Structure 1
Amino acid sequence: MFKTNNVTSRIFERQIRTPAPGTSVHSARRFYENLVPSFTIYDVECPDHSFFKFTDDGQYFVCFSRNRQDLIVYRPTWLSFSCKGEDCDNNQELPPQVKRFESFFTQLYVKPLASCNELICKDFFLYMESNQFGIFATSTAQIQDARGTDGAILGVPSFEKITIHLFRLEDGFKLDEKVFHNDCVNLTHNMGAFLYDDLLAVVSLRYQTIHILQIRDSGNLVDVRAIGAYCREDDELFINSSSQLAGNRGDLVDNGTNHDQPNSNNSFLSGIKQRLLSFIFREIWSEETDQTQRVQCLKKKFYFHFQDYVDLVILKVQFLDRHHLLIKFGSVDVGASRNTDQLPAFFAVYNMETTEIVAFYQNAADELYLLFERFCDHFHATSINSMYMNFISSHSNNIHALEQLKSMKNKATSISQFVKKMLSSLPLNCQSMSPSPYFDQSLFRFDEKV
């Protein structure tokens, strides 16, 4: 294949040769082989902000004020200076304005984001490419020893208020917000939220609920469904009407002496937990055909671990497509621990439309690891409208990344521990991978650890 380090020659080659159908973007990205950063400018005069990240299309640079109250957005001006000569790498005679931050970025606006008692979550930002919307979060101070309220699980800290903000990045106009009161959402590195097309999933750790929101083109955040205590939209209505009917019958018998009985909501397992237990039961039931062996198998694998399954909590969620969620279950200790490689965890694939669990794995399952190794791109769940996120290198679409993974696997002292370590990253954090050409392993070879 024709290749040269001369940009002019590559441009001429592009004029006289037509790339194969569907490969024009790949051909354009190959120009970055000739445009490699090779010079660093030190001691640049920068404003006193907390710099966060670029949007995937490179149009906006998102920053926050040091007091974590204001949103500051810049527009990159890109290439501003050039060097003429053979020894440009060592050329120190650059114009004075190169040392200034404003020479490379133009400030678009500064907008107040947090209220007086809230702070911006500086590790959280999601970008909706199709509408150029930005999703930010603010929260009050963490309450470590929060009182247990109805439906809340113990051992999870609480925040008096968590607010999800929807902004239009073009002009910084605030479109809508969603508020969670006395709740806990893990917003560090987008762990507690996942954006897929126009759907946003937010995980309430404290109340074990997956909130599915839809972002309309008009800029509204609309509640679609809440998965947790109930799975279908009419579950709560059905249970309340049933309990009300049972209460009316009780009044006829004891003339109202049963009003102090506990609420039926507290006496039942949550809807998602019942779906999970029934799936595990059916899987174990179908393993044996002999009735005696089936009962023994259920005793060992289901009833013996029944309380362990009941105690599982939802830790993390991601979209696999518009209808399926990958849900990570574990203990409260797993959610609070930094190193989760050695701790047991479980993964379930949940269909939101049928409200069924369709698959269930442990974090040491070889079957799930093989799926992750061969079909890693499906775990990224990139938007169908995104032309940038389709270029993320993975071991399922790039031979160099696959060789690197196999090398790590061969060096591992224990295959089971290696599988646990690889699966500990699931579900993947939303928009945690960069589509930059400099991270394209088809163009450049690099060590991810460095």
Structure 2
Amino acid sequence: MESPRSCSGIPRRRIPNQNLLTRLRRRQLVACYPGTHWHAARQFNECIFPNFTVVNIEKPATFLRKFSPDGRHFIGFSLDQSSLEIFEYQGPCLIAGLVRATRDPIELKQNIFKTAFRLKCVTHVAPEREHLNRECSLFAENGRYVVVASAALVPDNPYPFVHEVNQNNESLPPTARSPLEDYTLHIVDLHTGLLTDSKAFKCDKIFLPHNQGLYLYDDTLAVLSVQHQTIHVFSLVGGTFVAVRRIGRFCYEDDEITWMTSSVDRCAPHKDAMTNALKHRLLTHVWKTEASSSSSRARLFFKQFDYFEQLRIWKMQLLDSRLLLLRYATEDVVLLKHPDPNAQASLFVVYDMETTRVVAMYDNTSEQLYDLFVRFADHFRNAVPSNRPQFTCSSSSNVHAHHSQLRFKKTITKAKYGGPSEAVKRLLAQLPISAQSYSTSPYLDLSLFSYDEKCVSVLERPKACGDFPIKFFSRESGLLKFRLHTEHLGTQVNPAVAAMARRLVAFTFHPTDPFAVSVQRVNGEYVVSFHFRVFGCGNADWI
């Protein structure tokens, strides 16, 4: 019998059985601990994974976006960005069957998209002049509805009136880098393909890419108007927008009525000398918590009063149905005049919409806020808009993600011009977090697989594409499980041009199945690849 120890006396690592049938048998005979069913079931993904890649497939003239949270639908935008295209996902079994039945690689690449997705409907959404934003979509009611946005530049002739551009005394001046646009939010029913409701915002500035200006928590939708420094809160009821409140110049719903009936001399909103109500709540909080304790702190408050007055809301997110996390910065940062805006000073404010009070305030070098972010990262993400257990692979719920974040902090701390405060500032730059921007695929779970986070991560953002496949190793056994090929560009892109250009790849993983879509862009050219499971594919793992 082989000794369990090597010659050097170091105990050998025992690799658990990787056979799928053995694991299924063990699941029948051995019950898991109470409350661990989801984690035990998730471990089966170490046996069933996307082990085959088809590169440079033929697809319809569509900008591919993402899967719905239930995984049944896949949405994309038409080439003219006026319509929403809804596809029904057919499952990985049909794709694997097509691979086994097709001998010609060219025929396979021509038919694989039609096998994986069936076009359900094409819904014309964008009104005249407006175009849908390809990086903005929010799913509501567990994937029943999707919220998309369209925008168009405000024409110079005729230019809008002053009271339309400046709706209050904190409205920002339009700039070339931040021009005014007309926006429209749309709700589309994925089951029927019907446009159920739309909401227009004229002469405004809303950051649509990556859902930065929108946030959806359950059925509560918040929209940040950067131009008018106003937060619009809606409730999504049956696929329609129901206005709940507007936070900015006024905080309560009846504040404007009270102001209109008062004896105060009224003037145009942009000429109003009164402090914005939301800004007034912020100043009041600073005075009560910091300045009123001593005369020296009071003098410092009055010295910095103009700085607080000039702050503007840059980003926001919903922490729950009543708490807002707001990020304030100077006007130059909000208007995108700084090349590195996250390096500038900013304030994080937690605001209660029900009581209209500021609950807490932190600067962007606050160790206290960083500690809260590390310990309760899942509460900041709200990644899964459904009742399923959340596996967000964050620093608060995954030891490997926590160690990765600590390594990043240590690197910034020891770097030139770095330090502890600079490291905290870099990490807090993630806040506020955009809605539905993290993948819940089990193949990106760092407790199951180890991979290069510089090439792919749970954050759904384009990554730099390398010259080698992305390798996924099992955490349990340390064995190489599968590879995602992104280095083969196919025939559409000139190899000489591809070698000189910076290549980016964006992955879209199915929420549960061993299936992923990758889109590479090289000098304006798009190459789409499918990564899926095929049994008995042999040594070849890509075409």
Structure 1 residue 28 displacement after superposition = 1.8
1:253-292 maps to which residues of 2 (within 5 A)? 266-286=272-292, 288=293
Corresponding position of 1:154: 173
Corresponding position of 1:408: 408
1:219-230 maps to which residues of 2 (within 5 A)? 219-230=239-250
Corresponding position of 1:313: 312
1:263–1:225: structure 2 CA closer, same or farther, 3 Å change rule? closer
Corresponding position of 1:9: 22
1:383-394 maps to which residues of 2 (within 5 A)? 385-387=386-388, 390-394=390-394
Structure 1: unaligned runs, 5 residues or longer: 248-258, 289-293
1:430–1:81: structure 2 CA closer, same or farther, 3 Å change rule? closer
Task: Look up the SS of the partner of 1:279 in the other structure.
Answer: helix
Corresponding position of 2:79: 66
Q: Deviations over 1:185-212 (max 9, x none)?
A: 1111000000000000000011110000
Structure 1 residue 173 displacement after superposition = 1.0
Corresponding position of 2:531: none
Q: Deviations over 1:123-179 (max 9, x none)?
A: 100011436110001111266998653423224645452111011111211111111
Corresponding position of 2:211: 190
1:35-74 maps to which residues of 2 (within 5 A)? 35-74=48-87
**Distance across 1 between alignment mates of 2:167 and 2:241:** 26
Q: Does 1:233 align with 2:238?
A: no
- Kept after mapping to 2: 8 A contact 1:158/1:182: no
Identical-residue share of aligned pairs (%): 32
> Counterpart amino acid of 1:13?
R
**Distance across 1 between alignment mates of 2:16 and 2:154:** 56
The equivalent position to 1:422 in structure 2, one of 418, 427, 430, is: 427
- Kept after mapping to 2: 8 A contact 1:121/1:138: yes
Structure 2: unaligned runs, 5 residues or longer: 1-13, 456-543
Q: Deviations over 1:389-428 (max 9, x none)?
A: x111011111111111111222222221111111111010
Corresponding position of 1:328: 327
- Kept after mapping to 1: 8 A contact 2:166/2:270: no
Q: Deviations over 1:304-326 (max 9, x none)?
A: 11111001111111111111110
Corresponding position of 2:114: 102
TM-score, normalised relative to structure 1: 0.87
TM-score, normalised relative to structure 2: 0.73
Deviates more, 1:375-384 or 1:194-203: 375-384
Q: Does 1:141 align with 2:141?
A: no
- Kept after mapping to 2: 8 A contact 1:5/1:34: yes
Corresponding position of 2:448: 443
**Distance across 2 between alignment mates of 1:135 and 1:262:** 34
Q: Deviations over 1:69-102 (max 9, x none)?
A: 111111121222548xxxx99x977794454210
- Kept after mapping to 2: 8 A contact 1:197/1:383: no
**Distance across 2 between alignment mates of 1:233 and 1:3:** 61
**Distance across 1 between alignment mates of 2:376 and 2:268:** 47
1:34–1:183: structure 2 CA closer, same or farther, 3 Å change rule? same
The equivalent position to 2:127 in structure 1, one of 115, 119, 122, is: 115
Higher relative contact order (CA 8 A, sep 6+): 2
Deviates more, 1:261-270 or 1:135-144: 261-270
Task: Look up the SS of the partner of 1:433 in the other structure.
Answer: coil
Structure 1 residue 239 displacement after superposition = 1.2
1:264–1:221: structure 2 CA closer, same or farther, 3 Å change rule? closer
> Counterpart amino acid of 2:333?
V
Taking only aligned residues, the RMSD between alpha carbons, in angstroms, comes to 2.7
- Kept after mapping to 2: 8 A contact 1:230/1:236: yes
Structure 1 residue 350 displacement after superposition = 0.4
**Distance across 2 between alignment mates of 1:246 and 1:119:** 43
> Counterpart amino acid of 2:166?
T
> Counterpart amino acid of 1:313?
R
**Distance across 2 between alignment mates of 1:215 and 1:230:** 22
Corresponding position of 1:291: none
Q: Deviations over 1:350-379 (max 9, x none)?
A: 011110001011111111111111111121
**Distance across 2 between alignment mates of 1:50 and 1:382:** 23
1:358–1:25: structure 2 CA closer, same or farther, 3 Å change rule? same
**Distance across 2 between alignment mates of 1:264 and 1:207:** 10
Corresponding position of 2:491: none
1:18-29 maps to which residues of 2 (within 5 A)? 18-29=31-42
**Distance across 2 between alignment mates of 1:31 and 1:94:** 31
- Kept after mapping to 2: 8 A contact 1:56/1:434: no
1:175–1:370: structure 2 CA closer, same or farther, 3 Å change rule? same
- Kept after mapping to 2: 8 A contact 1:141/1:160: yes
